[in-house]
């Protein structure tokens, strides 16, 4: 797939992986719609795009507010007349034990990470069907394939994305591609912004995250996956091999995770 002049809508675009994707796609000549809750952050990202900034449009939204997302999708379609690729990069992580986590916090995580992506996708698909083309890219996580400590609701939200979009892929025209991207430890602010048991932010970066792959390198691998149309991709260091361990030796995997000091 050639990305030049493709219309790409990125959520979670004001920081982390989403921000890194903005810069690389801008250099590649894509026309961007960038979204997150932070209007100020989005304009800072736009200002750092080195190519034609007239082709970078800011569209603030709150993924938790699912009632407004259909209108946001219609607004996005009006900017360039279509959306060729949507990258669901917006989300929030978690750092709390399952039994300590308020139910409202778990629901918040699910609303942002799962229902937000579903609402936007459902609003965009009719236009993709009409155009007989489109690409839906979901930034999931390795914990969308297995669960670990302190991430119960986060992991559940990512597992749900896999179930939904795998099913959707089987139902829609194969000309509309669906790619699920599963990063491991990527050096972003995701753990700083992770929600604790009562919904407050953790405000510290985990050691594994601090020593993880750069967001820029991760974005480069994601773009390769988009160009090749891959259905599912695992990105990271040795942690990505946990997917295979879970698949082929689930009992051993459970023992390792139970004993591991996971942050």
153 touches 102 (CB < 8 A): no
Beta-bridge mates of residue 94: 195
- Looking up tokens 């629901």 gives 107
Q: How far apart are CA 103 and CA 81, in angstroms?
A: 40
Q: Is 23 a catalytic residue?
A: no
Which residues contact residue 112 at a Cβ distance below 8 angstroms, ignoring those fewer than 6 apart? 63, 64, 90, 91, 92, 157
> Which residue is catalytic, options 154, 164, 234, 241?
154
Q: Whose CA is closest to 124, among 72, 57, 66?
A: 72
Active site residues: 154
């Amino acid at each position: 797939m050639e990305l030049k002049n493709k219309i790409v809508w990125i959520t979670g675009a004001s920081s982390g992986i989403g921000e890194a994707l903005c810069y690389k796609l801008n250099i590649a000549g894509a026309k961007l719609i960038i979204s997150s809750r932070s209007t100020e952050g989005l304009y800072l990202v736009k200002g750092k795009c080195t190519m034609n900034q007239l082709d970078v449009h800011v569209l603030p939204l709150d993924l938790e507010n699912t009632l407004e997302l259909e209108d946001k999708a219609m607004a996005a379609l009006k900017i360039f007349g279509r959306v060729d690729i949507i990258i669901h990069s917006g989300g929030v992580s978690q750092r709390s034990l399952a039994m300590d986590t308020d139910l409202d916090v778990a629901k918040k995580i699910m609303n942002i990470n799962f229902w937000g992506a579903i609402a936007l996708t459902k609003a965009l698909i009719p236009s993709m069907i009409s155009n007989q083309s489109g690409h839906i890219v979901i930034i999931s996580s390795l914990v969308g394939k297995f669960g670990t400590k302190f991430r119960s609701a986060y992991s559940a939200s990512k597992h749900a994305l896999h179930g939904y979009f795998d099913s959707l892929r089987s139902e829609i025209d194969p000309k509309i591609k669906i790619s699920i991207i599963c990063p491991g430890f990527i050096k972003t602010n995701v753990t700083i912004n992770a929600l604790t048991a009562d919904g407050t932010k953790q405000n510290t970066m985990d050691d594994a995250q601090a020593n993880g792959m750069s967001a820029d390198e991760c974005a480069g691998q994601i773009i390769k996956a988009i160009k090749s149309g891959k259905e599912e991709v695992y990105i990271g260091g040795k942690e990505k091999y946990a997917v295979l361990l879970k698949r082929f030796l689930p009992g051993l995997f459970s023992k390792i995770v139970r004993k591991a000091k996971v942050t």
